[in-house]
Amino acid sequence: MAFRIKCFAVAMMSAFLFSACGPKLLTPKTRLDTPVQHVRNGMKLLKLDKFESAFREFSRANELDPKLSSPYVGMGLVYGHKGQFGKGLASIRQADEFAKETEQKLIVQVGYMRLYILGRAKLEKQWLRRIEDAFRKAKSASGDNPEPYYYMGVAYKISHDYDKALEQFVRVFEIDN
């Protein structure tokens, strides 16, 4: 009887040992490993100031679809947050080349606005004018999106033009309601 218990115990331990050494199950990548999902994750990580992780997400999205413009915008914003404004501008310009649909054009123009807000005078002395140009292009791409109005309000606030900033922020609330 003791021999049977020992054999059973050895067999069970062997089964656990072999199952632990086997290949690990991976999550299916079909739903999660898409360029759009990686861009979404990258934008969330960018808001959390996790720049390396965000850049990794944007790079993966770029690997999956090199002609999608939004990963380039994301990488440009990461460069901007790191103070590498030249690289950031080059990346967003590349996104501008690939933007074909109106939604992509809107994302690119908002990316320009955000990068110029980050860099301001380090990028160009006329940074506010550049943001206003990008704002006009973003409005023509999609007039009812609150994002361009929000970032235009931020730019006016930074430049101490509080009346114009207030107009833009009020417009954001009007669009959302």
Question: Domains of the chain: which residue ranges?
Answer: 33-176
**pLDDT recorded at residue 49:** 95
What does DSSP assign to residue 83? T
Asked if 115 and 134 count as a contact pair (C-beta separation under 8 A), the reply is: no
Retrieve residue 87's tokens. Answer: 């690289």
Count of positions (residues) in the chain: 177
**CATH assignment, 33-176:** 1.25.40.10
Asked if 148 and 113 count as a contact pair (C-beta separation under 8 A), the reply is: yes
Give the residue carrying structure tokens 């609150």: 146
Q: Give pLDDT tens digits along the chain (177 positions).
A: 677 777 666 666 766 666 666 555 434 456 778 999 999 999 999 999 999 999 999 999 999 999 999 999 999 999 999 999 999 999 999 999 999 999 999 999 999 999 999 998 887 889 999 999 999 999 988 878 999 999 999 999 999 999 999 999 999 999 877
What sign results for the dihedral spanned by CA atoms 115, 120, 125, 127?
A: positive
